Structure 1
Amino acid sequence: MPLDPTATELRNAVLASPRAVAAHDRAAWVGLFARDAVVNDPVGAAPHRGPDAIARFYDTFIAPNDIVFDVAHDFAGPATVVRDLAITITMSTGAQVRVPMHLRYEIATEDGDLRISHLAAYWELLPMIGQLMGTGIAGLRAGTRLGGLLLRNQGMSGLVGMAQACTGIGRTGKEIAHRLCAAAAAGDAATVTELAGGRETVRLWSGESVSVPELVARARGLRCGKTLAAGRSVTVSGETPDGPVLLIFDFHPAAPRLETLRVHTSTVG
C-alpha cells in the first residue's frame, strides 16, 4: 500500500465498514481497525480502545440491529475521511430510528494495509433516545434490551461511560458555531477572529493554515445545515457557491471557548 494513499484508497478502506455492518460480519468489522485503534461513538461517551473493547462495542450496538447508511457527502484529506450522513437503525423489536451524524475516520498503514486508527461518531444521544421511546412498546423493549447488553458486555463502567454523552457543549456550542458561520458568510472577519478565540489563522483539513480574512473570503455565501453537538464538539454541514463543506468545532474541556476549527471541503466519490 502506498505511504501516501489517495483519497479514493482512503474512502475504499472506510467503505469496508458499512459493508461488514450490513453483512453482520463481526470478524471483518473488527479486523478493519488497527491494533491500538479507538472507537469514540458517540463523541462525548467513554472511548473503546483496542480490539477486545471494539469487539464488545460491536456485540452491544451493531450485532442486534440492522443498520443502513444514507450518505450525502464523503470528504477525504490526509489520512482522514469524514462522512456526512444519516443512519437508519432497525432494532430486534422492530423499533426504527433515523440518526443524523457525521463520521470521522482516521486511517493508518499497519502491516502493509490501511486500517482505521480512530473512528469518531458525532451524533446526539438524547434526541435518539427520545425518538426510540416515541416508537412505543417496541422502543421500550429495544431500550431495555440495549441496556442489558451494555451491562453484560461492558459492565457498569460501560453504562456510565455511555451516559457521559448526555453532557457536553450542547446548545451553547451550536450558537457559537452558527454565529461564526454567519459572520464568515457576511465577510465579518473581526467577529470570526473574536469567536475563534482571537487566533489569526484557521486550520483546513488539508493541514494548511489560512488567515481569518482568507477564510472569510472563501466562506462568502456559506449556508449552514445539519448541526450536531457531541461532547465538546459541534459539527456543521454547509454549502458554499463552490460546493459542500463540513466544519468541526472543538471546544475547551471546561469552558465555552473554541479551541480548534477544521474546515473540510474536498469531496470524493
Structure 2
Amino acid sequence: MLHHLEDTVPANPTAAELLATVEASPAAVGTHDKDAWVALFAPDGSVEDPVGSRPHIGRAAIERFWDTFIGPNGIAFDVAHDVVCGNTVFRDLTIATTMSTGVTLHVPMHLRYDLVEVDGALRIRVLRAHWELAGMIGQLLRSGGQGLLAGAKLGPQLIGNQGIGGALGFMSGLRGVGAAGRQASGRVLDALGQGDSDAARAAFVPVPRLEWGTDGAMSLEDFTTRVKGLRWSKPIAAGHTVTVTVETRQGRGIAELDFTGGGRVQNLRIFVGES
C-alpha cells in the first residue's frame, strides 16, 4: 500500500505545491515548532523512522515521536536533491543531529514523503526515513565521552516517551538486509544498467513488481530497456528495503528495492521526475 498511495489521491497538485509541503517539515524542525510539524500530517498519518522500526501512526504517536527524537535535539538538513514522482517526494540528503551533550551525528539518508489531500490541503500521509540505525549507533560510540553520555540519556528518554514496547520497536530497525542487501542491490542495478536482464533476473522473485516513475508495472525486458545506462551511488539498507541514488537518462532519481526474507528482490521502483 505504501508504494502506491498516489493512486488514491484525488487532487492533482503541482510539483511546486508538493515540494512546499515537504519543505515545511524541516522549516518547523528548524524553529522547534512542534505544533506546526505535527499539523503537516494527515489524521491517520505515520512516521517510520528509520524504516524497519515500528511506525508511529496517528497524531498522538507522532507527537511522542517529536518529543523523543526531534524536540531535544538540533537538526539540520543538507538536501542534495529532490525527486517529485506522482504524489511522492523523495529527498536525497544528509541530516546533522546535534544532541543535548553537544555531539553531532551526520547521517546519510533518503526521506520519502507520500502526500494526500485532506480538506483541500496537502498533508503527509506517510513519512519513511531510510537510514542505517547500526551506523548511527557506531558513530555515537566513536564520539567519545559526549557520545556515550548522549546514548545514556537517550535510553531513559526513549522508554519514558515510547514505553518498553516502543523502545523495542525502535530497536527493531537494527534488523534487515544490511550489507548483503546493499551488495545485492548493486549487482542488480549494475546488470540493469548494462542492459543484461538475464543477469538481473537471478536476483528477483519469479514475478517481481518493476516500476519506472509513475508508469506502473512493466516486464523485466521493458524495464531493462528503460534503465539501460543507469549509474548508482549511496546505497542505504533500512529494514528489508534498500534505497539507492541513481543517475538515469531522464535525470537523477532514487531506486527503492524491497527484499523478501529470503534475500530476493520482490519490488523495484525507480523514482524519477516526470518529464
TM-score (norm 2): 0.92
Alpha-carbon distance change, 124 to 265 in structure 1, aligned in 2, over 3 angstroms: same
| 1:223 matched to 2:231 | yes
Q: Shift of the alpha carbon at 1:74?
A: 0.7
* Further displaced range: 89-98 or 237-246: 237-246
Task: State whether residues 68 and 88 of structure 1, in contact with CA within 8 Å, keep that contact through their aligned partners in structure 2.
Answer: yes
Q: Which residue of 2 aligns with 1:259?
A: 266
| 1:8 matched to 2:16 | yes
Structure 2 CA distance, aligned partners of 1:234 and 1:241? 21
Moved over 4 A (4+): none
* Further displaced range: 154-163 or 232-241: 232-241
Q: Which residue of 1 aligns with 2:185?
A: 177
Structure 1 CA distance, aligned partners of 2:199 and 2:207? 11
Q: Which residue of 2 aligns with 1:93?
A: 101
Task: State whether residues 41 and 121 of structure 1, in contact with CA within 8 Å, keep that contact through their aligned partners in structure 2.
Answer: yes
- SS at 2:46 equivalent: strand
Q: Which residue of 2 aligns with 1:80?
A: 88
Structure 2 CA distance, aligned partners of 1:30 and 1:165? 23
- SS at 2:84 equivalent: strand
Q: Which residue of 1 aligns with 2:46?
A: 38
| Letter aligned with residue 142 of structure 2 | G
- SS at 2:205 equivalent: coil
CA deviation profile, 1:102-150 (whole Å, cap 9, x unmatched): 0111111112111101000000001111111211111111111111211
Alpha-carbon distance change, 201 to 110 in structure 1, aligned in 2, over 3 angstroms: closer
Task: State whether residues 193 and 200 of structure 1, in contact with CA within 8 Å, keep that contact through their aligned partners in structure 2.
Answer: no
Q: Shift of the alpha carbon at 1:89?
A: 0.7
Structure 1 CA distance, aligned partners of 2:16 and 2:269? 21
Structure 2 CA distance, aligned partners of 1:117 and 1:50? 10
Give the gaps of 5 or more residues in structure 2: 1-9
Aligned residues between the structures = 267
Q: Identity over aligned residues, as a percent?
A: 45
Q: Shift of the alpha carbon at 1:241?
A: 4.5
| Letter aligned with residue 264 of structure 2 | R
Q: Shift of the alpha carbon at 1:169?
A: 1.2
Pairing of 1:1-269 with structure 2 (within 5 A): 3-199=11-207, 202-252=210-260, 254-266=261-273
Q: Shift of the alpha carbon at 1:207?
A: 4.1
CA deviation profile, 1:138-170 (whole Å, cap 9, x unmatched): 111111111121111111111111110111111
Task: State whether residues 193 and 199 of structure 1, in contact with CA within 8 Å, keep that contact through their aligned partners in structure 2.
Answer: no
Structure 2 CA distance, aligned partners of 1:50 and 1:241? 39
Task: State whether residues 75 and 267 of structure 1, in contact with CA within 8 Å, keep that contact through their aligned partners in structure 2.
Answer: no
| Letter aligned with residue 158 of structure 2 | L
Structure 1 CA distance, aligned partners of 2:117 and 2:40? 11
- SS at 1:145 equivalent: helix
- SS at 2:207 equivalent: coil
Task: State whether residues 211 and 223 of structure 2, in contact with CA within 8 Å, keep that contact through their aligned partners in structure 1.
Answer: no
Structure 1 CA distance, aligned partners of 2:208 and 2:73? 46
- SS at 1:199 equivalent: strand
Structure 2 CA distance, aligned partners of 1:71 and 1:53? 26
What is the root-mean-square deviation of aligned Cα atoms in Å?
Answer: 1.8
Structure 2 CA distance, aligned partners of 1:257 and 1:240? 24
Structure 2 CA distance, aligned partners of 1:164 and 1:141? 22
